[in-house]
Homo-oligomer: A and B are copies of this chain.
């Protein structure tokens, strides 16, 4: 009885709320990836919900951008799922990971700029914890196999990876790095940084 009573109308409202949230996050990802300055009203419109509904779920632009970033990184992380990261020689796997990360990041580049404008770098880094764990696992394997240097701490090498990829996205957006140059620059930079000292 209690169970049945609980199914109406709360679950229906909850299902509506979930549908609205998903629609808002998808619209937010789409719009902010085109224009980092996209407004909350435009995102509500594209999601097919009212501004009041949007604000009920995300009381500030900052909270909305934070949630959209989380959504986008979650999708991106799924794309990075590739078993060769654990099987190919570490330098080769790193090259592959950089290419894939870059493609995903390039698609959402403007969203990261939007995030960078309202969220501290530390918070943006937290959102990347899952994909960064893949990077960490790969660098640790390269260190064990003797392919990557061990004279610098693992955590620092992961941080450098994040900083370098993040900078490349900003340089590309600012027009200081040619789109066709980015992949080579990223791979060359990271492999120089990871190689054992001569």
A contact residues vs B (CB 8 Å cutoff)? 113, 116-117, 120-122, 149, 151-153, 155-156, 159-160, 162-164, 166-167, 170-171, 174, 176-177, 181, 185, 188-189, 192-193, 195, 197-198
Contacts of A177 in B (CB 8 A): 153, 155-156
Chain B residue with the shortest CB-CB distance to A36: B120
Smallest distance from the beta carbon of A189 to chain B beta carbons, Å? 6
Smallest distance from the beta carbon of A142 to chain B beta carbons, Å? 15
Contacts of A174 in B (CB 8 A): 122
A185 and B117 contact, Cβ closer than 8 Å, known pairs A122-B170, A193-B192, A193-B193: no
Give the CA-CA distance A17 to B27 in the complex, in Å.
48
Cβ of A170 and Cβ of B116 under 8 Å apart?
no
Chain B residue with the shortest CB-CB distance to A121: B116
Contacts of A189 in B (CB 8 A): 152, 156, 160, 193
Cβ of B122 and Cβ of A120 under 8 Å apart?
no
Contacts of A116 in B (CB 8 A): 120-122
Cβ of A156 and Cβ of B171 under 8 Å apart?
yes
Contacts of A166 in B (CB 8 A): 163
Chain B residue with the shortest CB-CB distance to A198: B198
A176 and B192 contact, Cβ closer than 8 Å, known pairs A117-B120, A122-B170, A198-B198: no
Smallest distance from the beta carbon of A105 to chain B beta carbons, Å? 15
Cβ of B122 and Cβ of A121 under 8 Å apart?
no
Contacts of A122 in B (CB 8 A): 116, 170, 174
